[in-house]
Structure 1
Amino acid sequence: MTADTRAETPHTDRLPRAWLIVGVLWVVAALNYLDRIMITTMRDSLTQAVPMTDAQFGLLTSVFLWVYGLLSPFAGFLADRFNRSRLIVFSLLVWSLLTWLTGHARSFEELIVVRALMGLSEAAYLPAALALIADYHRGSTRSLATGIHMTGLSVGTGLAGIGGWVAEKHGWAAAFDVFGLFGVAYAVGLLFVLRDPPRESGDVTLTAEQPRLGQALVSLFSSGSFILLLAFWGLLALAGWAVMGWMPTFFKEQFKLDQGAAGISATSYLAVAMLLGKLVGGVWADRWSKTNNRARILVPAIGLFIAAPATLLVANTSVLAFAIAGLSIYGFTRVFSDANLMPILCQVSDSRYRATGYGVLNMFSCIVGGITVYVGGALRDAQISVSTLFQCAAGGLLVCGVLMTMVRPAQTRIPTP
């Protein structure tokens, strides 16, 4: 096994152009989530133009998620096997073309095909991008760089609401045309900017044989810490989807709010808190990692030990201000994990397989997330209160924190991470 385990020192921090890479990929990350979520914001406009049932409309998102999750490990392997930069550009180009094609679909069947293909093309992006950022940020800037990139996903999620506004003003296809063509143009520009870092003579991956998928999976699952990360990320997805999926309903029922006020209260404060948390969690882990090689592991664990009681506060208070405060604390501390997952993966797995590893984690998270949404609905049908779901989520967050404390960096490291 070859992994990064040392306490980092300034001279190994990053390669030239490291922050430029983060900046250009931040835009791609925003497009990644904007393009996939935008369709959910224009239900009325879309269903008027392309007749479909509510179940069929929901299937447009489900198909994307299933394809995206199931193909994530293979997509991650491609990022380990081939040039990461070119894979990112190709992924962006294809999904942007598919975004444009979405606006030109004229039947439900065409929409389903386009959404499935979009799941395939978008699956290649995140493992490759996070691995490329880790390649450039080799020391005490790795978590902050990852956190900044992950804020792009948050911004893209927030901007997706533009789709509904554009659909009302200019028709449902207009937003897909604009953002699809913008993505194509941006992909062409990336061809001249994005590059994999040069391999140095001490880098074991320079001379090692090319990765194979079977070898990658065997290597990953031979690590007890990777298995702990898999359980951690899946359980965190369960808790996270329970909170995200049912918080608007909880606010509406618990505090007698109308739909609009409940939606804003349940999402806007949370979005701001999560964006700030990704930055703070990255900076904290980076600084602490200079003296403690377990810092990137401990910061997410501490965050979850705070997020769990904050979730209980939301579940048990009858005061709206306290619920918003608890939700904001949850969002702020929960995403310490987002800023540090790939850096932790770099510490516990072979450097040749870090993108494959992230793809496996991503697949498991998507599967658990999909199951959680369905089970949550079934529990609601069985008259189980949302407060009970949140109490279970809080317990899950505590277990996640414990699992994270059990993760241990590998005992060997590569000379050039």
Structure 2
Amino acid sequence: MPSDSTAAPDLAVNTRPLPGAWLVVGLLWVVGCLNYLDRVMLNTMRDSIKAAIPMGDDDFGALTMVFLVVYGILSPVGGWMADRFNRSRVILTSLAVWSVVTWATAYVHTYEQLLSTRILMGVSEACYIPASLALIADYHRGSTRSLATGIHMTGIYAGMALGGMGGWMADNYGWNSSFMVFGGFGVAYAVLVGILLRDVPATPRVAGEAAVSHEHPVEILGALLRNRRLWVLALHWSLLGFAGWAFMTWMPTFLQEKFSLTQGKAGFTATAYEKVMSLCGVLVGGALADRWSRTSARGRVLVPGIALTLASPFVFMTAHAGVLWLVIVGLIVFGFARGCSDSNMMPILCQVVEPRHRATGYGLLNFLSCLVGGIAAYLGGWMKENKVDLTLLLMGSAAGVLIAGVLLMAVRPARRE
């Protein structure tokens, strides 16, 4: 990649995590789990939702699309808030609000009400990921950054995997039971987060960095948009967003119809195997990237780039395999490779943008990824409604995974950390 005029000079790497760094990761692990559990469990109870609230398949796909569009548009705003204000308070407010919205979802009776709760979910969850990853990066300053991010990401993948419980609970206790249980738990956990979670106590947050950015949002956005490396990361993340949300939204339906599975088994198969291996991927990928980064500034981009490139044929296999176990193998390999990318995205971003723009930069990536992911979710619904084989959507996802891996390996970081 050519050099950027906006790139910051190389920074000395302070490799020691700050006191309380691992407590922060532990607290946020549960929050990350709830963040994804609350948003994805709806996708595993399609039949129950449609029986209770009449809608077409395109309407069902629109529920995810609307969430992702709202979530994506507001992610840069949430990132700016995390850069401008107290990150731990932004996280706490986000958790409390989306948990109340999750609980309230259990009591909707019409499609319009359900759509409204998805919009509110997008608004309330938009602040969390940029703020949490930036806070972890504040506490973990080098040799543990990818691993710490990876451990946090295991919470997110645990939430995705547990999302499969939505179908099981819908089959056995009613579609609204999971919203009551997990929404109530989130409200209670917000109290603990409010007591224990704090921003980095030292000022400035990171050596040489102002504690709070007072730049105008337009100036921040302009600096980010001029960064060519960031645009490559954005395209990479958007392609993974397309694949990830296509699989998350429509793989349960694809498996249910192709292999005549029950709603509960299809939801479990579509999420559990992939997300369990994602847990492994974020840990292994994070540890490998931390180790490789000690000898090469490109270590953090090469680990996920290689993993995704090698995984792409297996993603193609999920679309065409005639037996269920081969589909599961494809989901396992994709999950591992995606985990390698997830654990390294914020650490890579720390090598590409100014420290004071980390959360805003991640919010911008989230915006583009969710916009493309929302299109994938809606496209699957449109294909179902118009009798188009979902195999085409999965094949497009596989192509995106291949391109995403190749793009990432082309990134040359502007600095070590």
TM-score in terms of structure 1 length: 0.86
Residue 121 of structure 1 corresponds to which residue in structure 2? 124
One-letter amino acid of the structure 2 residue matched with residue 302 of structure 1: I
Q: Of residues 237, 240, 263 in structure 1, which corresponds to 2:241?
A: 237
Answer with 60-69 or 119-128: which moved more. Answer: 60-69
Residue 303 of structure 2 corresponds to which residue in structure 1? 299
Q: Compute the displacement of 1:384 (Å).
A: 6.5
Q: Of residues 68, 73, 87 in structure 2, which corresponds to 1:65?
A: 68
- Three-state SS of the structure 1 residue aligned to 2:414 is coil
Q: Compute the displacement of 1:292 (Å).
A: 1.3
Q: Of residues 50, 55, 61 in structure 2, which corresponds to 1:53?
A: 55
Residue 100 of structure 1 corresponds to which residue in structure 2? 103
Give the distance between the partners of 1:166 and 1:251, measured in 2 at CA.
19
The alpha-carbon distance between structure 1 residues 133 and 102, as it changes in their structure 2 partners (threshold 3 A), is: same
Percent identity of the aligned residues? 51
Give the distance between the partners of 2:61 and 2:256, measured in 1 at CA.
22
The alpha-carbon distance between structure 1 residues 375 and 347, as it changes in their structure 2 partners (threshold 3 A), is: same
Residue 196 of structure 1 corresponds to which residue in structure 2? 199
Give the distance between the partners of 1:283 and 1:142, measured in 2 at CA.
9
The alpha-carbon distance between structure 1 residues 215 and 394, as it changes in their structure 2 partners (threshold 3 A), is: same
Give the distance between the partners of 1:315 and 1:106, measured in 2 at CA.
35
The alpha-carbon distance between structure 1 residues 110 and 238, as it changes in their structure 2 partners (threshold 3 A), is: closer
Answer with 90-99 or 263-272: which moved more. Answer: 263-272
Q: Compute the displacement of 1:157 (Å).
A: 2.0
Unaligned runs of 5+ in 2: 1-5
Q: Of residues 125, 149, 153 in structure 2, which corresponds to 1:150?
A: 153
Unaligned runs of 5+ in 1: none
| CA contact 1:38–1:164 (8 Å) conserved in 2 | yes
Residue 214 of structure 1 corresponds to which residue in structure 2? 218
Give the distance between the partners of 2:121 and 2:319, measured in 1 at CA.
36
Give the distance between the partners of 1:365 and 1:57, measured in 2 at CA.
20
Q: Compute the displacement of 1:243 (Å).
A: 4.5
Q: Compute the displacement of 1:13 (Å).
A: 2.7
- Three-state SS of the structure 1 residue aligned to 2:411 is coil
Give the distance between the partners of 1:42 and 1:313, measured in 2 at CA.
25
The alpha-carbon distance between structure 1 residues 341 and 170, as it changes in their structure 2 partners (threshold 3 A), is: same
Residue 373 of structure 1 corresponds to which residue in structure 2? 377
One-letter amino acid of the structure 2 residue matched with residue 274 of structure 1: S
Give the distance between the partners of 2:79 and 2:165, measured in 1 at CA.
30
Q: Compute the displacement of 1:335 (Å).
A: 2.2
Q: Compute the displacement of 1:232 (Å).
A: 1.1
Q: Compute the displacement of 1:168 (Å).
A: 5.4
Residue 332 of structure 1 corresponds to which residue in structure 2? 336
- Three-state SS of the structure 1 residue aligned to 2:92 is helix
Residue 280 of structure 1 corresponds to which residue in structure 2? 284
| CA contact 2:62–2:378 (8 Å) conserved in 1 | no
Give the distance between the partners of 2:329 and 2:170, measured in 1 at CA.
34
Give the distance between the partners of 1:248 and 1:108, measured in 2 at CA.
21
| CA contact 2:164–2:272 (8 Å) conserved in 1 | no
- Three-state SS of the structure 1 residue aligned to 2:351 is helix
Residues 1:77 and 2:59 are matched in the alignment:
no
Q: Compute the displacement of 1:114 (Å).
A: 2.9
Q: Compute the displacement of 1:316 (Å).
A: 5.3
Residue 412 of structure 2 corresponds to which residue in structure 1? 408
Residue 177 of structure 1 corresponds to which residue in structure 2? 180
| CA contact 2:41–2:166 (8 Å) conserved in 1 | yes
Please say which structure displays the higher CA radius of gyration: 1
Answer with 211-220 or 295-304: which moved more. Answer: 211-220
Residues 1:160 and 2:202 are matched in the alignment:
no
Residues 1:135 and 2:138 are matched in the alignment:
yes
Give the distance between the partners of 2:22 and 2:342, measured in 1 at CA.
19
Residue 3 of structure 2 corresponds to which residue in structure 1? none
Q: Compute the displacement of 1:288 (Å).
A: 1.2
Q: Compute the displacement of 1:173 (Å).
A: 4.3
Q: Compute the displacement of 1:367 (Å).
A: 1.0
Give the distance between the partners of 1:78 and 1:355, measured in 2 at CA.
8
| CA contact 1:4–1:346 (8 Å) conserved in 2 | no
Give the distance between the partners of 2:322 and 2:155, measured in 1 at CA.
34
The alpha-carbon distance between structure 1 residues 99 and 397, as it changes in their structure 2 partners (threshold 3 A), is: closer
Give the distance between the partners of 1:96 and 1:76, measured in 2 at CA.
20
One-letter amino acid of the structure 2 residue matched with residue 402 of structure 1: V
Q: Compute the displacement of 1:44 (Å).
A: 5.6
- Three-state SS of the structure 2 residue aligned to 1:139 is coil
Residue 38 of structure 2 corresponds to which residue in structure 1? 35
Residues 1:399 and 2:378 are matched in the alignment:
no
One-letter amino acid of the structure 1 residue matched with residue 355 of structure 2: S
Residue 358 of structure 1 corresponds to which residue in structure 2? 362
One-letter amino acid of the structure 2 residue matched with residue 215 of structure 1: E
| CA contact 1:6–1:293 (8 Å) conserved in 2 | no
| CA contact 1:3–1:346 (8 Å) conserved in 2 | no
Q: Deviations over 1:230-268 (max 9, x none)?
A: 1111122233344555545655676x5545565554433
Q: Deviations over 1:33-59 (max 9, x none)?
A: 12223344455655666x432355554
Answer with 208-217 or 64-73: which moved more. Answer: 208-217
